[in-house]
Amino acid sequence: MKKLLLILLCLPMIGFGQNVNIPDANFKAYLVGNSLINTNGDSEIQVSEATAFNGSIECGSMNISDLTGIEYFIHLVFLDCHFNLLTSLDMSSNPNLDFLYCSHNQITSIDVSQNAILDELVCFNNQLTSLDLSNNPFLADMYCFNNPNLSCIKVDDPIWSATNWEPLDPQHYFSTNCSTTDIEEHTTNKELLKVTDLLGRVTKGIKNEVLFYIYDDGTVEKRIVIE
């Protein structure tokens, strides 16, 4: 009975001292070298240190190819990982994230589905093939140009998105549904319903003015006709 009690008393201490798995040496070096994160000054990042941290991780231009371990930073509010070697980015375990700056990587997919309070997303110069922003109602600023494989951007309000977010590549458009069928129909069977200006007024199109082309499939394209 005494041995069993001793084992039970030790369990919380074991959990408290558990280290975060950080396979990328460059990412780990940054975290270990940050005294605001590595508060005990050892050569590891404990789970307790990661979960307690509620600040910013700024690890741009560090040849990082893997951000595994970021999922333990559940109170992270700011991530800057631009100019690295990342190919994917999953922020679904970081619900308090407010700012994400991940431009100039090789990212093909970004998961921000659980980042409900995300305010700014900077993801240009990547290799994105899809982008779902339908669960980010507070997203005010978004920059996703120079993603040549990206066409449809899923949002909850295509007209608002086309009005407020720029710049975009010519092939980018907003829709509430970015399924394969929707993309195919967008390029073949869609019908233009109307063209509006910035104030929502229907227009036949004026050169050198921002216009919104609204189609019957719910998609919206933002265009500027240069004279």
For the chain, the domains span 16-150, 157-227
Residue 123 half-sphere exposure toward CB, CA atoms < 13 A: 30
> Residue 198 gets which letter from DSSP?
T
**What pLDDT score was predicted for residue 5?**
43
Q: What is the pLDDT of residues 26-47, one digit of tens each?
A: 999 999 999 999 999 999 999 9
Residue 167 has a CB neighbour count (10 Å cut-off) of 11
Check whether 91 has a pLDDT greater than 60.
yes
Q: What percent of the chain has pLDDT over 90?
A: 66
Hey, what are 222's tokens? 């933002």
DSSP state of 192: E
Task: Say what the pLDDT of residue 4 is.
Answer: 44
Give the distance between the most distant pair of CA atoms in the chain.
87
The confidence band for 121, taking pLDDT boundaries of 50, 70 and 90, is very high
* Average of per-residue pLDDT values in the chain: 85
Percent of the chain with pLDDT over 70: 72
Measured CA to CA, the distance from residue 29 to residue 10 in angstroms comes to 30
Span 147-173, mean pLDDT?
Answer: 90
Q: Between 98 and 217, where is the model more confident?
A: 98
User: What CATH number was assigned to the domain covering residues 16-150?
Assistant: 3.80.10.10
Secondary structure of residue 16 in the 3-state scheme: helix
Beta-bridged to residue 69, according to DSSP, are: none
Higher pLDDT, 166 or 30: 30
Q: What is the pLDDT of residue 61?
A: 98
- Please state the rounded mean pLDDT for residues 160-166: 87
Q: Where are the alpha helices (DSSP H) in 166-218?
A: 180-188
Kindly state the average pLDDT of the residues 110-127: 97
Q: Rounded mean pLDDT of 95-109?
A: 98
Query: Given this model, what pLDDT does residue 205 score?
Result: 57
